[in-house]
Structure formats: C-alpha cells, structure tokens
Amino acid sequence: MSAAPVAPPLVRSIGLVQATAMVVGTIIGASIFVQPAEIIRQVPSVAGILLVWLASGLLTFFGALVCAELGDRRGRRPLHGLLRPTG
C-alpha cells in the first residue's frame, strides 16, 4: 500500500493591496446595511433622507477625486484635469 499524497504547504501570499481591499470590502459591506436604518431613524422626512443621501454621495465623490489625485503619480500630473486646470 502506498501512502496518501502529501499536500503542498499553504503559502501566505496576501500583500498590502489585497489586505486593504479586504478591509475596505468589509467596511462597505457592513455599512450598506447599517447606515440606511440610522438615517431613517434620525431624519423625519423622505425629502430630508434624499437630501442626506445626495450630500453624502457628493462628499464621497469629491473624496474619491482627492484620493485619485493624490494617487496619480503623487501629484506630479493632474488627473485628467478634473481638480486643476492644465495649461
């Protein structure tokens, strides 16, 4: 009788990018179910809820533009001219 084949050892291969993506995914995944209930509880009207979501979306969009600008060659070149005019 031959012995069962030995499985190769597991390799730890999660780097900084993969770990960051996992954390961001967890935060987004948890927040998407918690935040709507909190907003509805705090804001009494439908129009107010929509206004809060609109303001949050705009802040998130501008935050993403800032992060993109900072990440794009560390500010040496504006990202498609969205944040600074190029001349």
d(CA 57, CA 81): 21
In sequence order, what DSSP letters do the residues of the chain get, joined into one string? Answer: -PPPPPPPPP-----HHHHHHHHHHHHHHHHHHHHHHHHHHH--SHHHHHHHHHHHHHHHHHHHHHHHHHHSGGGTS-STTSSS---
At 51 the pLDDT is 92
- Distance CA(34)–CA(42), nearest Å, equals 13
Mean pLDDT of 23-36: 79
At 57-67, the pLDDT tens digits run 899 888 888 77
Q: How many residues in total does the chain contain?
A: 87
pLDDT digits (tens, 9 = 90+) for 66-85: 777 766 655 565 555 555 55
